[in-house]
Amino acid sequence: MVAHAATRILLGARLGRPPERLRFTRGRWGKPAVADAPGLHFSLSHSGELALLAVARRPVGVDLELLRSGRDVERLSRRFFPCHERELVARGGRPAFARLWTRKEACVKASGGRLTEGLALPVAHAAAQATVHAPAPGGLAGPWRVADLFLPHEPEAYAGSVALLGAGPFDVAWGVWYPGAPAGSGPERRRRGVK
**Distant-in-sequence, close-in-space partners of 116: CB < 8 Å, separation ≥ 6:** none
Mean of pLDDT over the chain: 87
User: According to the model, what pLDDT value does residue 182 have?
Assistant: 53
pLDDT tens for 98-112 read 999 999 999 999 999
Q: For residues 59-82, give the mean pLDDT.
A: 91
Distance CA 109, CA 111 (A): 5
Q: What does the domain layout of the chain look like in residue ranges?
A: 2-194
pLDDT tens for 146-169 read 999 988 666 578 999 999 999 999
pLDDT tens for 44-57 read 999 988 899 999 99
Residue 29 has pLDDT above 90, yes or no: no
User: According to the model, what pLDDT value does residue 181 have?
Assistant: 55
More confident residue, 51 or 195: 51
pLDDT tens for 174-190 read 888 776 655 554 444 43
pTM exceeds cut of 0.75: yes
With beta carbons less than 8 A apart as the criterion, state whether 54 and 6 touch: no
User: According to the model, what pLDDT value does residue 190 have?
Assistant: 38
Highest mean pLDDT: which range of 65-69, 152-156, 189-193: 65-69
Residue 68 main-chain phi, psi, to 5 deg: -100, 145
H/E segment holding residue 93: helix 83-111
With beta carbons less than 8 A apart as the criterion, state whether 27 and 13 touch: no
